[in-house]
Chains A and B, each alone.
Chain A
Amino acid sequence: MSGSQANRKKVLESIRTTLGANAPDKWREANVRHRLVTHPSGTIPARSLGNREAGLALFSGMLASQGAEVTRVRDPEGVVKAIAAYLAKHELPSELRLSEEPVLVTLPWLLAPKLTQTYGEPSASDAIGLSRAIAGVAETGTLFLVSGAGNPTSLNFLPETHIVMVDEGDIVGCYEEAWGRLRALYGEGTLPRTVNWISGPSRTADIEQTIISGAHGPKRLFVVILDERSP
């Protein structure tokens, strides 16, 4: 038996011995299988169970209170204009690093000719990152971003300013709903390399309990909600 197999045996046997579970027990196994397969939810907070408008308001409100700037636009043109306006307002560079998500790549960038776009994994010097969230959770103003071909995770952390686009239709009430969508997308029991829950810009309170932004991750988080529902 290899060292690692011996270690494995040692730990699992120690557990089984202490629990008195050395003989195979089909009820124990059924218990485990059942929970894994049915993955029951616990109590969902009432605040997550509101209607669409309430959810949207909660999502924006929570993100704002957690230090992000949030805006809602009606169309892809609005997304580009909002980004340009945000960068101008904060006197930030106009060089954007985007993930290669088609919905970002195909935005009407010509409407903001001063902005330039590069794609993929950011370098250490990229100041502005733009990603797309696969979902948003109203409960705590949390964005779900996933790794993938074209979605570098480092884009969410390296640049000093992080801009995230999320579709209004992808904003759900609670975390469990978002997981449901990921299960539908990736299959049961399967996740991509990284799922990031992001709920604000980076911060630390380690020094005298004073809150400072931009500890290691982005100093600024700007969230653009694309709401294409007809008014």
Chain B
Amino acid sequence: MTALASDFKANAAKALADAELQRALLNVKRGFVQKRVDAKARLPEFDTLRDEARAIKLHTLSHLDLYLDYFERKVADSGGQVHFAPTAADAREIILKLCRDADAKLVTKGKSMVSEEIGLNACLEEAGIEAVETDLGEYIAQMRNEAPSHLIAPIIHLNKETIAEDFRRSHEGLAADRTLGSAADLVAEARAVLRQKFLAADVGITGANLLIAETGTSVVVTNEGNADLTQTLPKMHIVIASIEKLVPTLEDACTILRLLARSATGQEITTYTTFATGPRREGDADGPSAYHVVLLDSGRSEMLGGSFNDMLSCIRCGACLNHCPVYATIGGHAYGSLYVGPMGAVLTPALVGIDHARDLPNASSLCGRCEDVCPVRIPLPSMLRAWRERDFARGNPKFREKTALKLWAYAAKRPRLYHALSGAAVKLLALLAGRSGKLSWLPFAGAWTRNRDLPAPEGETFHQLYAKRTQE
């Protein structure tokens, strides 16, 4: 990943000026928003299920140690093995060792944000192991050495012409004059190329949308079926998931699954929802002979019970991104983080520290639409404010900003002074604006007037006029 969260302002400016990106972002606004509305309309129980899902998640989080313990036992009972990874480095070490023990040369990967979080692919490549993303969007992002730009639609920012160029450059041994004009052509070629990888892989690594304690099960949802080929064909299946993915029972999984696809893409359910429990059993016709679940902490345990506890309920549906006015104008890469949009603005500072990501929670109008659409009702705006409080307490805002705020607050706490100063200020501004009623330029107001006119004040304050009126 090349972009950094600390370069947000510069990256956002670039994104705003990127015409192709802006066109692609329209797809997000138009497509996903309406699809969610339609899906919700088809399921009258939707909002009730949201309340239940939230309750399930919060209950699990407050008993996480106990459920993890139980999950581990059930995985062992079915012949698998759980590995706890306190840090990203631990997770990499564990997975690398497993791959080496399996004498792996080629690893196929189902989509996993957590595996990107820990930098797994680079680690494997360095060790001489080829790691191939199999989710089509992630495959293309990997080809371009780019981070995904959306939680569930990784290459929403790319058009098919760009992708065709990438394919011609990366896929060797194919006819140079072959047609790659349509999305169907591209998918067909990717299918053929990746099939070879699926069949040859020694190890398959997937993430998990959910982990189920009751049965020791990992759950992966896809529309493509890539995760299934990844976790069924090789001799070893490794799951990498963060600890908060756990839910207690199969029924709890059903409640959440009823919300996940509907909130993400507006589908009733994803094409494939796969429940994996342990390795192949004796007598099974196929399946991996080894099943490992690597549970990553990396900052999650510290969030429990605190101001950001509820962020751990996130089921990674992407609804908040799809409805966020900020995301809609700058796209995912501007955030300089794996986790983008409102959920990324809350989670990223928790994982990398507010000092390195302060723009993310600050760059929000706090419109609240994210909380409106979150399937597990995470109070995202409150958490954005909570980060702003920490940011302010650490003295991070620039001098100019802090001073302006201090001056304003000083006056606001002293009504007489405030009224006197404001009376003078609005008189001046009204004079400057004259008959036009607006100002297209004003010293120190460039941030507003660069792209907008500033409506001029009427010339007297309400309190000045009110005092006059009540004297009559």
Q: Do A and B bind each other?
A: yes
Instruction: Tell me the A residues contacting B by CB distance below 8 Å.
Output: 4, 7-8, 10-12, 14-16, 18-21, 28-29, 31-32, 35-36, 39-43, 45-46, 62, 66, 99-100, 120-121, 124, 140-142, 147-154, 156-158, 174-176, 179, 189-210, 212, 214-218
B254 contacts A179, CB within 8 Å?
yes
What residues on A are CB-neighbors of B199 within 8 Å?
124
B308 to chain A, nearest CB (A): 11
Chain B interfacial residues counted at CB < 8 A: 103
What residues on B are CB-neighbors of A153 within 8 Å?
228, 232, 285-287
Given A32-B248, A193-B278, A217-B272, 19 other A-B residues pairs in contact with their CB atoms under 8 A: A7-B85, A12-B68, A35-B249, A41-B251, A43-B45, A45-B43, A124-B195, A149-B284, A149-B285, A153-B286, A157-B225, A157-B228, A176-B254, A191-B217, A194-B277, A197-B274, A209-B153, A214-B187, A214-B188
A56 to chain B, nearest CB (A): 17
Q: A41-B251, A202-B224, A206-B155 are in contact. Are A147 and B90 (CB under 8 A)?
A: no
B125 to chain A, nearest CB (A): 22
A194 contacts B248, CB within 8 Å?
no
What residues on A are CB-neighbors of B27 within 8 Å?
208-209
B163 contacts A193, CB within 8 Å?
no
Name the interface residues of B286-337: CB closer than 8 Å to any CB of A.
286-287, 291, 295, 297, 301-306
- How far does the alpha carbon of A158 sit from the alpha carbon of B223 in the complex, in Å? 15
B8 to chain A, nearest CB (A): 26
A202 contacts B271, CB within 8 Å?
yes
- How far does the alpha carbon of A50 sit from the alpha carbon of B137 in the complex, in Å? 39
What residues on A are CB-neighbors of B343 within 8 Å?
none
B277 contacts A192, CB within 8 Å?
yes
B231 to chain A, nearest CB (A): 8
Q: What total count of A-B pairs have CB within 8 Å?
A: 274
The answer to the question of B70 belonging to the interface, with a C-beta cut-off of 8 Å to chain A, is yes
| A19 CB contact (under 8 Å) in B195, B233, B304 | B304
A36 contacts B70, CB within 8 Å?
yes
The answer to the question of B184 belonging to the interface, with a C-beta cut-off of 8 Å to chain A, is yes
In the complex, which residue of chain A has the Cβ closest to the Cβ of B272? A198
Chain B 60-91 per-residue mask, 1 if CB under 8 angstroms from chain A, else 0? 00111111111010100010000111100010
Q: A32-B63, A42-B251, A207-B183 are in contact. Are A202 and B153 (CB under 8 A)?
A: no
